[in-house]
Amino acid sequence: MQEKLNRRDWFKTSLALTAGLSVTPALVQNLMAAPVSEAERAFLKQGKTTGAKVRLNSNENPYGPSEKAKKAVMQVLTEGNRYAFNELEDLKKIIAQKEGVDPSFILIGAGSGELLCQTGIAYGLEGGRVLSAYPTFGLLMNYAEEMNAVWDKVDLNEKLEFDYQKLLSSIKSDTRLVFSCNPNNPTGTVVDSAIVKSFCEEASKKTMVYADEAYIEFLEPSDQKSMVQLVQRTPNLIVSKTFSKIYGLAGLRIGYIVAHPDVVKKVGKYGDTISASQTAIAAAKASLGDEDFMKMTRDKNTIARKIFTDYLDHKKVFYGKSRTNVLLFPAPKEGKTMLTQLEEKGFLIRIWEYQQKEWCRVSIGTAEEMKAFVKAFDEVIA
Ligand SMILES: Cc1ncc(COP(=O)(O)O)c(C=O)c1O
């Protein structure tokens, strides 16, 4: 209920903001998403922005898009007057081949976020409950709640990892869907794929399972064990992936789910049949499987993340062992003040609430950005 009210508040706030009442819409754009804490709501209400430049608040890839993707986008611009019917079908086939399924198992959306929303609507409309660990990426559950489902949450374990045992035992008779996020956002923590696999196998006997793999390519290739391997024989499983993270195409908006054709139809009903643009499709085609670009992002991200974790280790701050481009740790100072003071120094981060405490979520930027951020952060908490 609280979440629901918060979401409505957010819609109201953003309406007021875009009407130009108190702050520039740029601040809203910078925040990129609905507030997840009182600190963020209070920060928004302050209505001032210094035009912060370094966005450590949206888990974006600071190195993308790749040169190949940019070239493809430039080339396809002349087709901008054409609906991308054929191009979408082509991309679907390419993705299907990569994932080892028939194209009827693939649904492409304008970002995986769109597909999370549609899935939230499709299953939320059935009433009952949706279940996830918390904190996690809440979009699907937010939409399900809007459709009158109840969002059941279980805590992460003490290492800030998804607790799959607890999740499995929390499935109730009216749980319509259970959400898994591995690696998880906002923690960047990863659970062994064998545990996730056995969870998906067991949970899917009871309810629909949604396995969000938005950050899986941040793991070394030998660790990228996708749950897509289960989809053919598991009608109760949806796996989602995105081009926004490792490929750096967040602003172009393209992602996809892999699921049984009946599920694809059920979820697809709540979206446009062709929401991906010519440019997004072209960039995705040029990016898919670009091992060099993915490795470059991974390697640079690892170096940049270490700059910040070295600092946190030095300060003896506890944090979840992230293997992606985001970190979560207890806020060392009151959340709204941190947001305000960091923004004044040119940095945007997020503040989450969990177990009656405030937590900082920091996305990993470039090494230079993280060095500058460490300095600013240290001054703010001094
Ligand atoms: C876990 C997770 N899933 C999905 C998304 C949605 O990404 P997109 O809509 O850009 O594909 C995000 C965005 O941050 C995310 O963190």
What per-residue confidence (pLDDT) applies to 19?
A: 37
Q: Is 255 in the pocket of ligand 1 (CB under 6 A)?
A: yes
Upper half-sphere CA count for residue 242 (Cβ side, 13 Å): 27
Between CA 200 and CA 260 the distance in angstroms is: 15
What per-residue confidence (pLDDT) applies to 247?
A: 98
Ligand 1 mean position to 27 CA, how many Å? 20
Question: What average pLDDT does the segment 115-139 reach?
Answer: 97
Question: What average pLDDT does the segment 234-261 reach?
Answer: 98
Ligand 1 mean position to 255 CA, how many Å? 9
45 confidence band (pLDDT: 50, 70, 90)? confident
- Closest ligand 1 atom to Cα of 113: 9
Neighbours of 67 (CB within 10 A): 10
Helix axes of 335-344 and 38-45: crossing angle, nearest 10 degrees: 50
Ligand 1 mean position to 49 CA, how many Å? 25
Residues of the chain with pLDDT > 70, as a percent, come to 90
Ligand 1 mean position to 243 CA, how many Å? 9
* Model confidence at 303: pLDDT above 90: yes
- Closest ligand 1 atom to Cα of 326: 16
Q: Which residue has the higher pLDDT, 11 or 264?
A: 264
| Domain architecture of the chain: domains with CATH | 2-59+292-381 (3.90.1150.10), 67-287 (3.40.640.10)
- Closest ligand 1 atom to Cα of 184: 1
The tokens for 311 are: 């600092």
26 confidence band (pLDDT: 50, 70, 90)? very low
Between CA 215 and CA 31 the distance in angstroms is: 20
Q: Name the residue among 298, 296, 352 with its Cα closest to residue 325.
A: 298
What per-residue confidence (pLDDT) applies to 52?
A: 64
- Closest ligand 1 atom to Cα of 112: 11
Ligand 1 mean position to 309 CA, how many Å? 23
Contact 44, 27 (CB under 8 A): yes
For the ranges 1-10, 148-157, 351-360, the lowest mean pLDDT is seen at: 1-10
* Model confidence at 70: pLDDT above 70: yes
For the ranges 50-54, 135-139, 191-195, the lowest mean pLDDT is seen at: 50-54
Contact 245, 325 (CB under 8 A): yes
Sheet order of strands, 208-212 included: 106-109, 255-258, 237-242, 208-212, 175-181, 129-134, 150-155
What per-residue confidence (pLDDT) applies to 5?
A: 41
Q: Whose CA is nearest to atom 9 of ligand 1?
A: 113
Between CA 222 and CA 312 the distance in angstroms is: 28
Question: What average pLDDT does the segment 150-160 reach?
Answer: 98
* Model confidence at 201: pLDDT above 50: yes
Between CA 73 and CA 248 the distance in angstroms is: 13
User: Tell me, what DSSP letter sits at residue 215?
Assistant: T
What per-residue confidence (pLDDT) applies to 296?
A: 98
Q: State residue 34 phi and psi, 5-degree precision.
A: -60, 140
Quote the mean pLDDT of the chain.
92
What per-residue confidence (pLDDT) applies to 21?
A: 33
The pTM is what?
Answer: 0.92
Q: Which of 245, 325, 361 to mutate to test the pocket of ligand 1 (most atoms within 8 A of CB)?
A: 245
Sheet order of strands, 326-330 included: 326-330, 357-363, 350-354
- 323-338 pLDDT, tens digit each: 999 999 999 999 999 9
Between CA 209 and CA 378 the distance in angstroms is: 41
State yes or no: cis peptide before 65, omega within 30 of 0. Answer: yes
Helix axes of 67-76 and 278-287: crossing angle, nearest 10 degrees: 150
Question: What average pLDDT does the segment 265-274 reach?
Answer: 96
Between CA 288 and CA 184 the distance in angstroms is: 22
For the ranges 23-27, 101-105, 193-197, 232-236, the lowest mean pLDDT is seen at: 23-27
What per-residue confidence (pLDDT) applies to 33?
A: 66
Q: Which of 141, 181, 240, 244 to mutate to test the pocket of ligand 1 (most atoms within 8 A of CB)?
A: 244
Q: Which of 242, 247, 327 to mutate to test the pocket of ligand 1 (most atoms within 8 A of CB)?
A: 242
8 confidence band (pLDDT: 50, 70, 90)? very low
User: Tell me, what DSSP letter sits at residue 333?
Assistant: S
- Closest ligand 1 atom to Cα of 215: 1
Residues of the chain with pLDDT > 90, as a percent, come to 87
Ligand 1 mean position to 382 CA, how many Å? 33
Upper half-sphere CA count for residue 36 (Cβ side, 13 Å): 25
Token pair 């409309």 in the structure block, residue: 125
Q: Is 244 in the pocket of ligand 1 (CB under 6 A)?
A: yes
44 confidence band (pLDDT: 50, 70, 90)? confident
What per-residue confidence (pLDDT) applies to 278?
A: 98
